[in-house]
Every structure is written in C-alpha cells, then in structure tokens.
Chain A
C-alpha cells in the first residue's frame, strides 16, 4: 500500500479553492505525470444508496451475488460502499473514480475525482476548469488505500489516460474495465489483463458479428481512395477524443505525411495528445486552409458529415471511422462512401478472450449489446448479469 486517501471530517467540503486545479499547466504533463494533487475530501458518511433507492437491477442481484455487499449499482451508477466512491457515475456525487474522459463516463459536478492525470486534464479541457471540485491523479499501477478497500488503476487501452479500476476488498478483487480494447494503439498504453473474481465489462460490440478488421487494412483503404479520387476532399467523421488522434497516428505510421486538416471541434484534444509527446504531425485548421482541399484528408465530428460546414470542400467524399461501419445497413443509413472499421472498443472475440483471461467467475455487463454476451458467458459457466447502467452512449463510438 502506497498511499491512503485520508478521511475528511466534513462531507462534501472541498479543500482549497475549487479553481486551483485549473492552474495546472498542460505542458507540465510532457515530462511525465505530475505530483499528486491535494487529497480527496472523504465523507464521514459515504453517500450510501438508501434502502429502497437502489435500482431494480440492484434488487434483482441482491439475492445471488456475493459482491453485492460491497459493490453495486445505485441510481448514480456503480457504487463501492466500503471505499465510499462511485465509478463513472451518471450524476454528481461526492467522490468519483473516473475510468476515462469520454462524456458518458466523465460527467461534471463531482466534489472529488480520482483518475489518471491524463483523464483529469482531459476532463478539464472538455468540461471546463471547474467541472469538479478536487482532482487527484493516480498513476497506473500505484495502489491507494480508500476506506476499507485498496484501489489501483491499470491501462485499459481505450484512449489516452483510460484505466481499469482494480478494487481489492477482504480477499475479493473486482476489476471495472470502463471501455477497453485489445488492439495496439500508438496513442495510449495497452490494456493489461488483471486476474480477478468479478470483472465488470462493457459490451458495445457484444455480438459475434462484430470482429474489427486490422487497422492497417482500413487505413490502406483510405489511402487507396485518395489515390482513386484525387479531386475529392476526403472528409472522415471521427469521435473527437481518441479516434481522431489514433487515426492520425495510424496514418503517420503508414507513411502519410501530408497535413491532416481538422475541424475546430477536434483541436483541443489533438493538441493535448501532441503536447503529451504523441507524434501526430501537421494538423492545420480547416478554417485556415486555402482552397477546397481537393485530395486532402479532413477530420471532423461525425455530425459535420454532409452538413453545411462541408459545402466548402471539393466534392466531399464521406468517410466514417467506427466499429459500427462493420454493418452495411449502418453505412448506408449514414450516407457513408468510405467506411473505416476502426474501433476503440473490444470486438466480440476480444470481449470473450479478455473475460477468460481475467479468470473471473462472475461478470457484470455495464452497457451495450449485453444479451448476447450474457448468453455466451452462461454457456461457459460464468455468472453474468446485465447492469443496464443508464446514460451510456454506445452509439457515439
């Protein structure tokens, strides 16, 4: 045990000026993780879910699960009682452990947040300086004592800063994976499997039809299309945090050294990644670019595909980098000409293999296509339950 998260006498009171965390210069991340921020405030009485306040799922599980006594879903999300914190809560709580910076996991308004330094910085950039009271950074692998549990963060391989939460309590270990993938990603640390008793998994692509293609081939598709249609602007829809920077890094890895033009909404995260030492090359703003960018790659949020913003380009060819591009109906529905199956989530074989690797006897599925995964795990004699946590947006991938 390295460090404890000391209790604070008054529940909900924040130490110091809430704005103090904003003084954190992004550039200081470049040379490694910063020193730890002032500790969380720990409520004397943890914000327990009141009896009867738990969700229906919570009731349903109470009968059989032996983890239920210390980890369970309540109306805000997954709550660890002996540790006194929520994980990725969907509404403001006293203390939140955040797995990664995507908005359906990292919401504003918590009194105290524990996460990797990258996740804290990303939250501040995306949600605003005062998006939470206190922030405490925990490096991958470091263990923290919190109430009666010990906790550490382990890379999840999803995006920069993404972490699995490993919680040990009285000889039992639960791993809450957040979102994760198993493919190599040049922009973040690789997923690290941790043996555990309870594995809490996502199931965004929890159907056997979802098997992502190797990235290399998908990027090659984009490069081939540029060669075939040199007169057309290739506008690729990407999720702004993670997918955007990963696609740029993959392009660079495959030798593409032209500028990659960015929609304004992708700027701050891309600059943050670059500031963290991830080589993304030249990323000029579309707004500053001369001409109609024929034959160039433009990255934008998916919502800007075929929108007024794209009228400035030369015969824009719409691409979309997402695991959903596996399904032709979804490609047609979005009017996409160049589907790129590049996902930051585990596909079906990866979900199954990862669960097997953890050796967990029990699996909880937070969100996604949980029916099929629960069915499959049942065949493998693994106890599996769907939590159906509210507020998760699996279609945003």
Chain B
C-alpha cells in the first residue's frame, strides 16, 4: 500500500506526461504481484470493488469525530475524503499497512455489515498519504490525471514491450493481470489474443496550412464534412462491443444503444453524434451524455446517440490498416450495405471538380453550420498517431472580436514564470457609463516572443492581485479568434466562446474601440 500511496500522491502533483510515465514505470518494475496488478486496474479501467464509500464514511464520521471540528476542517480542506484522511489520528505503524491485494481479497469476501469495521481498521493502520490513497482506491477510479492508455504505456515502457502488443491482449486479461506480468518478465508465453475487442490507436489529422493548400492536388484527396461530435472507435468481436474514446478509454457504458449490434465483427472509426429526427444536434447535447455512469431511458430518448462512420480498421478479423483509404472505404461501404446496423450511417463523400469548388464549399461551411472539411489522401494507409501529409482538417474560418485584456494568470511547466492565461472582456452597459464584462479566456495563439511582450505588459500594468490572478489596467486590445459563440447561463456575460485563441495583439488600438457585448451576442449560432 505504501508504494501505491506514494505513486498516487506523486502522480497528482506531477503535471508532465513524461514525469507521470517515469513514476508509473518505476512502480510497475518494483511493486510485487498481485498488488501492482490491482494498481494497474485502478489506473486504467477502474476497479469494481462495490464499496459504498460515501455511505460508509458518513457513518464512521458521525461516530468518530466532533461534528464542529469536522465541519471547520472540511471547510478548510475543501474535500470530504481528504478531510477524513487528514483528521484521522495515527501515523501508521511500520509494517501494519495492508497490501492492496489483501484489501481486494478481504472486500470480495466481506458482507456489507463488515464494511465500516474493515475501513476503520485499514485507516488506523495507515499514515495520512496512505489513508488518502486508500479512499481514492476504494472510490474505484482515482482521478490523478492518468488515462488508461497512459497507464498501459507505462507498463509497456517498464518492460520494453510495445503498447500495441499489450492492447491486443488487454481485454482478455483480468485484474490483477498475473499473465501479463508473467509474460512481460519472461516467465510465461504471451497471453492469448483477447476474444474481446481491442483499441487501435487512431490516425489523426493536421490543420490545413496555407502551404498545404498550395501543394494540394484535388484528385489525390477524399473530402468529407468535419462533424461536430467526438471521435470514437467502435470495436466489436464475438458479441462484445467496446466504444473507445480517442485516448482508448472505453466509454460504452454511457452509450449502451451503440454497443449491442448483433453479429458485428469489426473495428470502425467514426464520429459520435446526437441525432434527433435526422438532424445532428449541437455539441452541447452530446455533452449531456458524456461521463455518465448510468444512463436513463429518458436521457437516451431525449439525446439519442448516433455513429457516423468514416473508416474501417478491421473487418471480420482482417486487418485493413495497410490498405489505402480508397480500398478501406470500399470495404466499409460494402460492410455497411450488408449489416446496416441501426444508429449508424456513413460520412458522405464530397466530390469537387477543382480546388475552386472545394474552396467554395469551405467558404459555405459557417453558413451551413458545419465545422469544416476533412481532406484525406486517397492512397494513405491507416497510420497510428499524427503522420504528416496524409489527413488534414480544414476548419471553417474563425470569427473574431476585439476584446480588452482584464486578468492574467501564470501557466504551468515551461510557462510557469509567464502570465500566459488571459481573461478578456467586451464593453457593456449604457453609453455614458460603459463597463467591461469578461467574455472568455485564452492561452494560445501567440508566439513565444509575443508571450514575453504580454508578460511584460501585464507585470507593468497590474492594478490588483487576487491570489495567483492579476487584474490588469484595461487598456490592451486583443483580437480574439474563436470558432463559435454559444449562449451560456453559467457566465455573467450570458455567452461562451468555443475554442478561443489570441489572433493578434492590437497594441495600436485604444480600449474604448473594442467590441461591445451586443456585437458578440449577435454572433450566436
């Protein structure tokens, strides 16, 4: 438990991916079986321990602590589980801490009535970090900034294996993954390929730059609309279906209606959308369905999920990734004709006689409420990652507004010493007494040199500090580019910007000439 607690503790404080990988790698190399397997489960797919943590904690808390002291402490700490971990007396006798595997085994055999006594005993035997980690572990999925894919990457790195080899057997394995570690450490043969579907890393697109456009030959590319949903991979085999996010997390539990196509044996690439009466719903509707542990019928009826397919990685056990896009597309179309699973269709192929026609279509995207275009080289195989020169996304032209810099905050990592997160506002209020209302926040779009200039400006023009935030004299105009403006009840301005970024710094423009809130509201759509 100690090593696992230290790992979780340090993961929460380590922002960089490489740092997280290093910490996990060291843990998986040194932690004993079967504890490391349970840790891997907790960090990847989550553990189904069936421990009603909140209820048990509430019961214990009432008996164990002075309610007034607990209330004051909770207010100071800001998190109930952390408060319990810290307020609990005891620093953990050496050697008394339970092993992760003991905890899992004990819980599997325990009746619900025994839960409070078990938890009390464990908390008594641990130090503060151990107690915090235990509560995270019992909660099922500790949120320490690690995706399932990253945890598997760390296991692969720790033993010099390839993550694809691990993915291929992953779903045939069960915590604590004894077979996996036996194989990785050379004690046994590779476990059989899982009967269950496997995540294949996605092929990603680059934004289309001016020089890409100049070089582009229209006949070399297949064109589709860019859909405003989330990228998913539907993987079905042997009656089992997984719906993977682009990072390899299985999100099928949130979309059960997509996960039961009979007799499908394929790995397909597509866009997850909400479709009502034949119309794609705005992204906000999809957000209602994401990250739900349980999904009600009412929710499914209100926001029906839909899959718009555009590629096939595998059909009937045959790996298609080496084929060209054109060949894969033909196989996908044939497969869809034969199976036509409900809640799916194919992303339409757009044909253009020439580049002028293509550009004209792109110019129409905003009016048509479409996010943009996807350009895919017809001869390209399906390559994991973001290979150059194969797929391009051509987002519709951004909207822009001139806003006034109001607040700034430092960034993280390489930007830790720079004010790199900016909150900006637009004018509101009556003519004679205008006020600036915050309308958005951006932390990209500028060069390193512009960042240094902005940093200098902010330090020289700070009028107030609120903890890490600096309020800046409202005199610098930022031209902000964004994809869309949506109404928002959560923001004082009543609007929310989608994908805002700093397009230009308008050192020349007086703040009084920045845009008004009404101008931005008129862009809602």
Give the residue name and chain of the B residue nearest to A325 (CB): B13
Whether A211 pairs with B86 at a CB distance below 8 angstroms is yes
In the complex the two chains form, is A228's CB within 8 Å of B69's CB?
A: no
User: Contact string, A274-317, partner B, CB cutoff 8 A, digits 1/0?
Assistant: 00000000000000000000000000000000111111000110
Query: What class of interface size applies to chain B in its complex with A?
Result: 20 to 34
Does residue A376 face the partner (Cβ distance < 8 Å to B)?
yes
List CB contacts (< 8 Å) of A327-343 with chain B.
327-329, 331, 333-339
What separation, in Å, do the CA atoms of A213 and B130 have in the docked complex?
A: 13
* Contact indicator A372/B128 (Cβ below 8 Å): no
Q: In the complex the two chains form, is B79's CB within 8 Å of A329's CB?
A: yes
Kindly state whether residue B431 has any CB partner on chain A within 8 Å: no
A207 near B76 with CB under 8 A, answer yes
CA distance A155 to B76 in the complex (A): 31
Cα distance A310–B413 in the bound complex, in angstroms:
12
Question: Does the CB pair A369–B76 fall under 8 Å?
Answer: yes
Set A214, A311, A328: member contacting B12, Cβ < 8 A? A328
Binds A, one of B14-22, B150-158, B255-263: B14-22
In the complex, A326 has a CB within 8 A of chain B: yes
- Known: A213-B128, A375-B68. Contact between A331 and B417, CB under 8 A? no
Contact B76 A327 (CB under 8 A): yes
The verdict on B353 contacting chain A, using a C-beta distance below 8 Å, is no
- A347-382, CB < 8 A from B: 349, 369, 371-372, 375-376, 379
A119 within 8 A of B: no
Residues of A within 8 A of B15 (CB): 337
A331 vs B19: C-alpha distance in the bound complex, in angstroms? 17
Tell me which residues from 1 to 41 in chain B have a Cβ below 8 Å from any Cβ of chain A: 12-15, 19, 22-23, 26
- Decide: B79 and A208 in contact? CB cutoff 8 A: no
Asked whether, in the complex, the Cβ of A376 is within 8 Å of the Cβ of B69, the reply is: yes
Interface centre among A211, A318, A336, A375 (most CB of B within 10 A): A211
Q: How far is the CA of A307 from the CA of B414 in the complex (A)?
A: 11
B13 near A209: Cβ-Cβ < 8 Å: no
- Bound-complex Cα distance A208 to B70 (A): 8
Q: How far is the CA of A309 from the CA of B68 in the complex (A)?
A: 44
User: Is B192 on the interface with A (CB-CB < 8 A)?
Assistant: no
Complex Cα distance, B150 from A308, in Å, reads 32
A120 and B328 CA atoms in complex are apart in Å by 82
Q: Which residue of A lies closest to B14 (CB)?
A: A337
Report yes or no: B83 in contact with A209, Cβ–Cβ below 8 A.
yes
**Bound Cα distance from A331 to B86, whole angstroms:** 15
A328 to B135, CA, bound (A): 15
User: Could you tell me the distance between the alpha carbons of A244 and B110 in the complex, rounded to whole angstroms?
Assistant: 50
The reply to whether B467 and A209 form a contact with Cβ atoms under 8 Å apart is no
Given A335-B416, A336-B13, A337-B14, verify A211-B79 contact (CB < 8 Å).
no
Query: In chain B, what residue has the closest Cβ to A305?
Result: B416
Contacts of B65 in A (CB 8 A): 208
Chain A residue contacts of B14, Cβ below 8 A: 337
A375 to B416 CA separation, bound complex (whole angstroms): 41
**One of B23, B73, B91, B410 near A209 (C-beta < 8 A):** B73
| A256 CB-CB contact with B under 8 Å | no
Q: Is A33 among interface residues, defined by CB-CB distance under 8 A?
A: no
User: Contact at A372–B467, with CB atoms within 8 Å?
Assistant: no
Map CB proximity to A onto B474-490 as digits: 1 under 8 Å, 0 otherwise: 00000000000000000
B327 contacts chain A at the CB level, 8 A cutoff? no
Which B residue's beta carbon lies closest to that of A209?
B86
Cβ–Cβ contact A327 & B77, under 8 A: yes
Residues of B near A339 (CB, < 8 A) are 13
Which residue of B13, B73, B416 contacts A331 across the interface (Cβ within 8 Å)?
Answer: B13
- Whether B86 lies near A326 (C-beta < 8 A) is yes
Whether the pair A208, B87 counts as a contact (CB closer than 8 A) is yes
Q: How far is the CB of B135 from chain A (nearest CB, A)?
A: 12
| Interface residue B82 (Cβ < 8 Å from any Cβ of A) | yes
Give the complex CA separation of A336 and B14 in angstroms.
9
Chain A residues near B79 (CB-CB < 8 A): 328-329
Measured CA separation A210–B86 after assembly (Å): 7
In the bound assembly, the distance between CA atoms of A316 and B16 in angstroms comes to 12
- Of residues 54 to 103 in B, which have CB atoms within 8 Å of A's CB atoms? 65-66, 68-69, 72-73, 76-79, 82-83, 86-87, 89, 91
Nearest neighbor of A329 in chain B, beta-carbon distance: B78
A229 at interface by CB-CB < 8 Å: yes
Contact digits for B438-449, partner A, Cβ 8 Å, 1 yes 0 no: 000000000000
Q: Taking CB as reference atom, which chain A residue is nearest B412?
A: A335
How many Å lie between the Cα of A331 and that of B73 in the bound state? Answer: 17
Within the assembled complex, what's the spacing in Å between the Cα atoms of A376 and B69? 8
Q: CB within 8 Å of B: which of A195-210? A: 207-210
Contacts of B91 in A (CB 8 A): 211, 214
Cβ of B160 within 8 Å of any chain A Cβ, yes or no, is no
B417 & A310 in contact (Cβ 8 Å cutoff): yes
| Interchain nearest-CB distance for B416 vs A (Å) | 4
Q: Which residue of A lies closest to B23 (CB)?
A: A228
Q: Which residue of B lies closest to A319 (CB)?
A: B13
Q: Closest approach, in angstroms, between the C-beta of B68 and any C-beta of chain A?
A: 5
Give chain B residues whose Cβ lies under 8 Å from the Cβ of A372.
68-69, 72-73
Within 8 Å CB of A310, what residues of B? 416-417
CB under 8 Å from chain B, chain A span 231-248: none
User: Given the interface contacts A229-B19, A306-B417, does A328 sit within 8 Å of B73 by beta carbon?
Assistant: no
Contacts of B385 in A (CB 8 A): none
Q: Is the CB of B77 within 8 A of A329?
A: yes
A307/B69 contact (C-beta < 8 A), A229-B19, A328-B12, A335-B410 known: no
Distance, CA A229 to CA B66, complexed state (A): 43
Nearest CB of B to A181, in Å: 17
Distance of B12 from chain A, by nearest CB (Å): 7
> Is B468 among interface residues, defined by CB-CB distance under 8 A?
yes
Kindly state the separation between the CA atoms of A375 and B71 in the bound complex, as whole angstroms.
12
Question: What CA separation (Å) do A333 and B466 show in the bound complex?
Answer: 12
A365 to B12, CA, bound (A): 35
Residues of A within 8 A of B128 (CB): 211, 213, 326
**Roughly how many angstroms separate A379 CA and B86 CA in the complex, as a whole number?**
21
The answer, among B66, B82, B467, for a CB contact under 8 Å with A328, is B82
Kindly state the separation between the CA atoms of A304 and B101 in the bound complex, as whole angstroms: 44
A326 and B89 CA atoms in complex are apart in Å by 14
Question: How far, in Å, is B57 (CB) from chain A's closest CB?
Answer: 15
* Chain A residues closer than 8 Å to B468, beta-carbon distance: 333-335
Which of A208, A228, A316, A349 has a CB less than 8 Å from the CB of B416?
A316
Query: A306-B410, A307-B417 are known contacts. Are A371 and B78 too (CB-CB below 8 A)?
Result: no
- Asked whether B467 lies within 8 Å of A333 as measured between CB atoms, the reply is yes
22 A–B contacts, CB within 8 A, in A order: A207-B76, A208-B87, A210-B86, A211-B89, A211-B91, A228-B22, A306-B417, A309-B417, A311-B417, A328-B79, A328-B82, A329-B77, A329-B79, A333-B467, A335-B412, A337-B13, A337-B14, A369-B76, A372-B69, A375-B68, A375-B69, A376-B69
Task: Please give 12 more A-B residue pairs, beta carbons under 8 A apart, in addition to A208-B73, A328-B12, A375-B66.
Answer: A207-B72, A208-B86, A210-B86, A211-B86, A213-B127, A228-B26, A306-B417, A311-B417, A327-B78, A336-B13, A372-B72, A376-B66
Nearest 9 Cβ contacts at the A-B interface: A209-B86, A306-B416, A209-B73, A372-B72, A208-B87, A329-B78, A209-B87, A207-B73, A337-B13
A residues apposed to B, CB below 8 Å: 207-211, 213-214, 228-229, 306-311, 315-316, 318, 326-329, 331, 333-339, 349, 369, 371-372, 375-376, 379
